[in-house]
């Protein structure tokens, strides 16, 4: 087993990362849904008006909830790989690859959003139409990378596979694994147009899942030694 997994500081880092992800999502949802009400803007003109009015705060939020979120997610994915891979190596390898892919997509999405918003704000005083056409081109790219249904799909696939792996070990609480199956399924279903509202369920329940995961990793409840013992007995 790798020293990365044996190091308790790795699991501590993973636990802190999970708590950060829960907190970031908890802050992001009311900001985008209530404070800015970006989903309520149905036309490009309304969206550009919101961006010009809130560019500074939106820039910070995209950094927190996309760019930094993606980097921190990678830390968590690697910590979970170290914690679970002994008992379910193939499944955990797949889950880690998906988790790192999700992390990269989120970082890219956040950077595209922020670069696009900066361009819109620069163009708006001279040409509102040019600012609108710029955002019309930028938004689908950013959403396709990580903030639309594709992001929930990849995130759901990661949570689903990592939860399946956790249920094969004693390294995480079993109820957490079952909750992860629900979260992951919601993320996968959100890509189906009639079930796109499942994305909201994915977001809300993910907050609980990440928070619980962080607490479990920090407390080391049913942790690495239990998983290693189970693997040794099986072999």
Of 60, 10, 52, the C-alpha closest to 31 is 60
Q: What is the mean pLDDT of the chain?
A: 88
pLDDT tier at 7, thresholds 50, 70, 90: low
Arithmetic mean of pLDDT, 100-123: 95
Output the CA torsion sign for 70, 73, 78, 84. negative
DSSP for 152-217, please give it. HHHHHHHHHHHHHHHTTSSSS-HHHHHHHHHHHHHHHHTTSGGGTTHHHHHHHHHHHHHHHHHHHH
Residue 196 scores a pLDDT above 70: yes
pLDDT tens digit sequence for 143-164: 888 766 568 899 999 999 999 9
Instruction: Please give the pLDDT value at position 188.
Output: 94
pLDDT tier at 86, thresholds 50, 70, 90: confident
pLDDT tens digit sequence for 15-43: 999 999 999 999 998 998 888 888 888 89
pTM for this entry: 0.88
Instruction: Please give the pLDDT value at position 145.
Output: 83
Q: Is the CB of residue 83 less than 8 Å from the CB of residue 92? A: no
Residue 221 scores a pLDDT above 70: no
Arithmetic mean of pLDDT, 64-72: 96
Query: If you search the block for the tokens 């927190």, which residue do you land on?
Result: 64
Among 19-23, 83-87, 121-125, 200-204, the range scoring the smallest mean pLDDT is: 83-87
């Amino acid at each position: 087993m790798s020293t990365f997994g044996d190091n308790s500081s790795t699991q501590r880092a993973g636990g802190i990362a999970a708590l950060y992800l829960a907190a970031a999502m908890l802050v992001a949802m009311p900001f985008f849904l209530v404070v800015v009400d970006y989903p309520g803007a149905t036309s490009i003109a309304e969206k550009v008006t919101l961006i010009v009015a809130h560019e500074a705060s939106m820039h910070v939020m995209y950094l927190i909830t996309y760019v930094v979120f993606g980097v921190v997610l990678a830390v968590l994915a690697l910590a979970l790989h170290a914690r679970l891979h002994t008992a379910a190596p193939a499944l955990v390898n797949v889950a880690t690859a998906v988790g790192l892919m999700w992390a990269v997509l989120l970082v890219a999405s956040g950077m595209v959003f922020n670069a696009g918003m900066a361009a819109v704000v620069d163009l708006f005083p001279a040409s509102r139409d040019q600012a609108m056409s710029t955002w019309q081109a930028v938004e689908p790219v950013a959403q396709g990378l990580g903030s639309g249904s594709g992001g929930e799909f990849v995130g759901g696939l990661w949570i689903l596979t990592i939860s399946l792996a956790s249920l094969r070990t004693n390294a995480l609480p079993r109820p957490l694994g079952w909750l992860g199956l629900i979260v992951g399924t919601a993320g996968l279903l959100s890509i189906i147009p009639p079930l796109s509202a499942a994305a909201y369920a994915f977001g809300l329940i993910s907050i609980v899942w990440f928070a619980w995961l962080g607490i479990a990793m920090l407390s080391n409840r049913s942790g690495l030694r239990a998983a290693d013992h189970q693997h040794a007995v099986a072999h």
